[in-house]
Structure 1
Amino acid sequence: MTEADFFKNMPHNKSDPNPFLAIYLDQSIPFNEEAKAAYLRDCSSKSRQFLLPLLRPFARLMIILLQVYKIIVPKAFTSSKLLHRVLYWGMKTFVSPNANYMILRHFYLGSEVLQFIRDNVPGVQISMNPLKPTSLEPVKDDLFLIHDLNLYNFVINLNRELRDKNIEVTKQDRLNFDAITSTPLPIEPMPRRWTNFLDLTTAIECFTPVYQMFLTDNDFWRATNSLQLDETIGILASKIIGSNDRLALINNKHPMVPLTTLKAGFRLVLHGLATEQLHALLVELKHKQSR
């Protein structure tokens, strides 16, 4: 039974309606059906209900303490390679299958969204470095760090091209959807040991101070500030498709107003959902154009 089948077969008790069933059935927000079901089942877990409220304050306290520590010894114990091996071990050992599935989807979809934008701005030539992991193994190869670098490099290179060639991003009558996958992603089954119980939000909150500890202060700030580029990517996509009615779904807003790192974990979840929603919208438009 798929995750979507879980909700499709769920009985509806009118005197005690399931809030996650209501959100799953609601179609006002574009979202891949299987990913939505996986995310909502993850949200309804005991881990998120009971562990998150306990662990989140400690995780944020660690961010504060590590910030002070980084001021004193800014480059002590920094290693991106060690960081990603710790992340890989943590995901493989403690993170739930649905949460790992959503994390790998994010890298895959994020790469496709950037390629879609590039393909639909005539006249620009930008080399890409797409990340399309189908298992946890690629996490060990600096996957999270490269994802952030790809986003910054894309925004910088695109806007340099636009400025140098005097190009404007405009609505395209015929959209190029070559970069957008509309079939299920070939992601392998995730580990399902008894230890794999951490939901997505709790895992991200716990991993954020780990991320901070193994990166330089500059690298960590750059990574957290990349979340504010959600609105930038959303605006670029809206100009290309000629509609901005879905921009209201973006919560990581104005990139010129950098936020503190304290709520980076929560903002990272919003970042993932924004990518899912934009990609789902592009899949929807792809199907309509092919009719």
Structure 2
Amino acid sequence: MKKDIFEIETHDNRDPNPWLALYLDNSIPINDTTKKVLMLDNDSRSARYLQPLLVFWSKITMFFIHILKFFFPKLFNSSKFLHIILAWGLKRFVSPNANLLIFRHFHVGSEILQFIAGNIKGIDIKTSPLKPKDFKDVKDDLFLNHDLNLFNFVINLNSKLKEKGETISYVKELDTSMISEDQFDHIKFPDKWTNILDLRSAIELFTPFYQLFLTANDFVRASNSLQLDETIAVYVSQILGTPGHLGLVNNKHPMVPRSTYSAAYNLVLHGLAAETLHEVLVNIKKENARDGIVVPKKGQEY
């Protein structure tokens, strides 16, 4: 991991590094390892030179796939084959930093949903955590299941709330047992000469394949799921009794869906929103540990 850009000794008043400034800034809560690799990812040659080309290529390709899918909606539909391509591409062409951000996202997202489910009284919601540890796990429809889990969680949660006449409300004693303080340095990702793609470039490259091999419903749902960031953040704010972290959410207003052509950029924002929300919960867990607060899990008594 390249670290010299994070040394204050490298700072030049006449040519300040924007990524050093953002790394040193603590106004936004975020896991330290995530912050480092994200800044390194932004500073990579791939982000500077390949990304603009891939953004252009992605939009043009998606336009023609959109037309193809209109006339032949069932052609090429294969989630299994898609995830074989994704696993192969992630392993061989994506940088270790970008892979870390991608893999970590599933862990973070799963823990946030588990936190919500574990802190709503009178409602029992089962979650399906996705915590991939290697590229073989990607082949099990990992990305598609991530989107399905999110929508199914919102549907199941709100149907049970309505059925029992309950609402999500402030919880004084929070259960944070499912939240991990993980720096995510236990998975070693390939670092060969071909592993050069930054996060945004990788997403731009893979998005047309996502569109091609998924049904129209699956692809549109995946794109729309990014705007559920606001929904999930509202749930957490109701539990915490504070709306402060809602200002960190940029993918908003899920009832007014955005164009699928902006899915790649919105996906990066989605990842950042999940990371910041997760870090808020990590900090709460640390504060409880310092104060000696131990909260029993739902259905348990201490």
TM value normalised by structure 2: 0.93
1:252 alignment counterpart: 251
1:17 alignment counterpart: 16
1:205 alignment counterpart: 204
Letter in 2 for 1:148: D
Deviations 1:174-226 (A, max 9, x none): 11101100133364110000000000001101110110010111110111111
Equivalent-residue separation in structure 1 for 2:4 and 2:161 (angstroms): 46
Equivalent-residue separation in structure 1 for 2:136 and 2:12 (angstroms): 42
1:219 alignment counterpart: 218
Secondary structure of the residue that 1:263 maps to in structure 2? helix
Q: How does 1:275-286 map to 2 (within 5 A)?
A: 275-286=274-285
Letter in 2 for 1:224: S
Equivalent-residue separation in structure 1 for 2:184 and 2:45 (angstroms): 27
- 2:245 is aligned with 1:265: no
Equivalent-residue separation in structure 1 for 2:9 and 2:274 (angstroms): 28
How far did 1:155 drift?
0.4
5+ residue gaps, structure 2, are 291-302
Deviations 1:247-280 (A, max 9, x none): 1111110010011111100000000000000001
Deviations 1:7-54 (A, max 9, x none): 146522122111000000000000001110011101100111111111
2:80 alignment counterpart: 81
Equivalent-residue separation in structure 1 for 2:124 and 2:145 (angstroms): 20
Aligned alpha-carbon RMSD (Å): 1.3
Equivalent-residue separation in structure 1 for 2:110 and 2:33 (angstroms): 20
Secondary structure of the residue that 2:56 maps to in structure 1? helix
1:165 alignment counterpart: 164
Q: How does 1:102-113 map to 2 (within 5 A)?
A: 102-113=101-112
Corresponding residue pairs, total: 290
Report if the CA contact (8 A) 1:112-1:179 is conserved: yes
Report if the CA contact (8 A) 1:121-1:169 is conserved: yes
Equivalent-residue separation in structure 1 for 2:229 and 2:9 (angstroms): 34
Cα pair distance change 1:20/1:186, threshold 3 Å: closer
Equivalent-residue separation in structure 1 for 2:174 and 2:4 (angstroms): 33
Report if the CA contact (8 A) 1:231-1:250 is conserved: yes
Equivalent-residue separation in structure 2 for 1:245 and 1:46 (angstroms): 35
Equivalent-residue separation in structure 1 for 2:186 and 2:4 (angstroms): 19
1:189 alignment counterpart: 188
1:135 alignment counterpart: 134
Equivalent-residue separation in structure 2 for 1:141 and 1:227 (angstroms): 21
Report if the CA contact (8 A) 1:84-1:139 is conserved: yes
Cα pair distance change 1:10/1:223, threshold 3 Å: farther
TM value normalised by structure 1: 0.97
5+ residue gaps, structure 1, are none
Equivalent-residue separation in structure 1 for 2:152 and 2:3 (angstroms): 36
Report if the CA contact (8 A) 1:101-1:190 is conserved: yes
2:58 alignment counterpart: 59
Cα pair distance change 1:267/1:10, threshold 3 Å: farther
2:33 alignment counterpart: 34
Report if the CA contact (8 A) 1:63-1:212 is conserved: yes
Cα pair distance change 1:272/1:139, threshold 3 Å: same
Report if the CA contact (8 A) 1:107-1:147 is conserved: yes
1:174 alignment counterpart: 173
Equivalent-residue separation in structure 2 for 1:10 and 1:286 (angstroms): 34
Secondary structure of the residue that 1:30 maps to in structure 2? coil
Report if the CA contact (8 A) 1:134-1:187 is conserved: no
Deviations 1:107-159 (A, max 9, x none): 00000000000101111111111001122220011000010011011000000
Letter in 1 for 2:187: E
**Which has the larger displacement, 233-242 or 9-18?**
9-18
Cα pair distance change 1:196/1:10, threshold 3 Å: farther
